[in-house]
A = this chain, B = another copy of it.
């Protein structure tokens, strides 16, 4: 599929992609660039890359496809580091959870003779690092691509083909739209989960141990989300600031209304909200286990 592929950043996503590319022979040569020499060693030891280097120029030289898998906040630095070494016509894609800032950073630094295909796989776990990756991570998951108006469609097709080979389904979307939709479905839920777990963290020790003990009553699910990679999520909020603040504003309005209803003892208002919210759940369950229409869906979770 490609002569030489370069993955920059061998974390959960990067190493899962590497496993797919190696297992299916999608690249003549697969190299990873990671600034941490221990991660490079790990990548080689795991046998998921042909070559691992801490040098951007060595990694991206002659690569047909460069996949940026480093945190969203590093895109500007990485793009300027590789700008002079990328070959003409190379395809540059990424896996960042924010697309507007990535588009801005890549366009600012990369030469016009490369094809930029920003991307975002809706996949992840609470674990990080090259050992945490696995080939099935993208199976039946969505990958959203947000190509620019000037992007060559053949480049978009090639990136789509790579993700399809990983078992993913492709959606094409405008990057602004992506940042708003994911702001609601992903960034706000993570912010809230971090916040509620932090609230619990402030409790006195005896109370905290009881909260941990009885976490199964709802809190537990929040702690899983709030154990996600701190650097990745810091960068998400710093780089999708506008959409997150806008959605957070709507959320706090709705939460204040619920708070007022509790204080006033307005059971009808509470009942009304708690009934409406069931409808969205029904639609999600209808779509199957991963929000994908699937013939073998069970309707269970």
In A261-278, the 8 Å CB interface with B consists of: 261-263, 265, 267, 270-271, 273-278
Let me know if A252 and B252 touch, CB within 8 A. yes
Point out the residues of chain B lying under 8 angstroms from A219, CB to CB: 184-186, 189
- Nearest Cβ in chain B — how far from A216, in angstroms? 5
A190 at the interface (CB under 8 A from B): yes
Let me know if A221 and B221 touch, CB within 8 A. yes
Complex interface bits, A185-207 against B, C-beta within 8 A gives 1, otherwise 0: 11111111111111111110001
Let me know if A182 and B217 touch, CB within 8 A. yes
- Nearest Cβ in chain B — how far from A207, in angstroms? 7
Complex interface bits, A230-246 against B, C-beta within 8 A gives 1, otherwise 0: 11011101100100110
In A98-117, the 8 Å CB interface with B consists of: none
Let me know if A280 and B186 touch, CB within 8 A. no
Q: A195-B251, A263-B241, A278-B226 are in contact. Are A200 and B184 (CB under 8 A)?
A: yes
Point out the residues of chain B lying under 8 angstroms from A238, CB to CB: 262, 265, 267, 270
Bound form: Cα–Cα A212–B245 in Å: 21
Let me know if A212 and B280 touch, CB within 8 A. yes
- Could you tell me the dominant secondary structure of chain A's interface residues? helix
Could you say which of A190, A212, A214, A267 has the most chain B C-beta atoms within 10 Å of its C-beta?
A: A214
A301 at the interface (CB under 8 A from B): yes
Q: Per a CB cutoff under 8 Å, which of B265, B278, B284 touches A220? A: B284
Q: How large is the interface on A (under 10, 10 to 19, 20 to 34, 35 or more residues)?
A: 35 or more
Let me know if A251 and B196 touch, CB within 8 A. yes
Q: Per a CB cutoff under 8 Å, which of B192, B195, B223, B283 touches A284? A: B223
A281 at the interface (CB under 8 A from B): yes
- Nearest Cβ in chain B — how far from A188, in angstroms? 6
Let me know if A220 and B291 touch, CB within 8 A. yes
A134 at the interface (CB under 8 A from B): no
Point out the residues of chain B lying under 8 angstroms from A291, CB to CB: 212-216, 220
Bound form: Cα–Cα A265–B238 in Å: 6
A175 at the interface (CB under 8 A from B): no
A255 at the interface (CB under 8 A from B): yes
Point out the residues of chain B lying under 8 angstroms from A244, CB to CB: 262
A135 at the interface (CB under 8 A from B): no
23 example contacts (A-B, Cβ-Cβ < 8 A) are as follows A73-B267, A122-B216, A141-B216, A181-B210, A182-B214, A184-B211, A185-B219, A189-B219, A193-B218, A196-B254, A197-B280, A198-B273, A201-B277, A208-B280, A213-B291, A226-B278, A227-B278, A228-B274, A230-B271, A230-B274, A237-B261, A237-B270, A238-B265
3 nearest A-B residue pairs (beta carbon): A189-B218, A230-B274, A186-B217
